[in-house]
Amino acid sequence: MEEENTSNIQFNFNKSLNRSSKLKKLIVIALILSVITIIALVIILQRQGIRQTGTQNPRNGTGSELDLSESERLSENRGFHISNLAAILPFIGENFSMSYDFDNDEYTVYINPAQQAQGEAEFEAYLKEKGIPTSSWITTLNRTNQPF
């Protein structure tokens, strides 16, 4: 009888091992299918993104999203650099001085009339040093004849 119980226990143990082995196989198969599905979705979404990039953009009419992104990036950089400039003013250089009026959101520049050409060059170089390629970026720029 003891031998029969031992044989039943072994049989049940082997049966249990077979079930857990089958369960492990099913789990592995499910994981593999999940990974394949995720990869397929990523590829499909990337392809859709590529197709959308080439569509006509009503804002700039060029037919390229890249142009809009570049334009937006430049606009953000423009605002960033101009805001940083306001934070470090007033500035007094050799041939020009510059200030910012926070209440009126206006920049004011004075260029020494006796050294007009050098003052303009120094002013533009100062702006470039601060990340602003040209004074035309500053839409609220006033020029004055009065030094400050």
**Per-residue pLDDT in tens (0 to 9) along the chain, 148 residues:** 555 555 555 555 556 656 678 888 889 999 999 999 999 888 888 877 655 544 444 444 554 444 556 655 656 677 787 888 888 889 999 999 999 998 888 999 999 999 999 999 999 999 999 888 888 888 888 888 777 6
66, part of any domain:
no
Q: Which residues contact 71 (CB under 8 A, 6 or more apart)?
A: 60
The verdict on residue 21 lying in a domain is yes
Clarify whether residues 89 and 47 are in a common domain. Answer: no
* pLDDT at residue 60 in the model: 47
Domain tally, the chain: 2
- Both 92 and 32 in one domain: the answer is no
Q: Is residue 60 part of a domain?
A: no
Domain that holds residue 95: 76-144
Residue 8 C-beta-side C-alpha neighbours within 13 Å: 5
| Same domain assignment for residues 81 and 47 | no
* Same domain, residue pair 35 and 2: yes
Task: Evaluate whether residue 137 is within a structural domain.
Answer: yes
59 domain-assigned: no
Listed in sequence order, the residues at least 6 apart from 18 whose beta carbon sits closer than 8 Å to its beta carbon are none
Residues 34 and 90 both lie in one domain? no
Question: Is pTM beyond 0.85 here?
Answer: no
